[in-house]
Amino acid sequence: MKKIIGLVCWLLAFIVPFRYAILDTDDVVLADGRADNIVGLLNFLLMMVLIFVGYALVDSSKGKSPSAEPGH
């Protein structure tokens, strides 16, 4: 179940629109000359969180393999 949720997180991470985060620079500069790209920042942060949460879930879903030597 964790693996499926992790894969869904990865899928959602790459569905997050990159247009606002990376590609759309026309709307970044406001009329008074300030740069404002809060939507892009939030999309980027959401993508990074979903990627790492997905990785943690997929990685923790794997069974623990017994080590060859005890105590290691």
Q: Please, are residues 28 and 35 in contact by the beta-carbon 8 Å criterion?
A: yes
Q: What is the pLDDT of residues 17-66, one digit of tens each?
A: 665 556 566 667 777 777 777 777 787 888 889 889 999 988 888 776 66
Q: Please, are residues 8 and 63 in contact by the beta-carbon 8 Å criterion?
A: no
Is residue 66 a part of any domain in this protein?
A: no
pTM for the complete prediction? 0.67
Is residue 48 a part of any domain in this protein?
A: yes
Structural domain total, the chain: 1
Q: Among 59, 51, 45, 52, which residue's Cα sits nearest to residue 14?
A: 51
Q: What is the pLDDT of residues 2-21, one digit of tens each?
A: 888 888 988 888 887 665 55
Give the model's pLDDT for residue 52.
93
Tell me the C-alpha distance between 26 and 36, whole Å. 11
Is residue 68 a part of any domain in this protein?
A: no
> In degrees to the nearest 10, what's the CA dihedral of 58, 64, 69, 72?
60
Question: Domain containing 46: what range?
Answer: 2-60
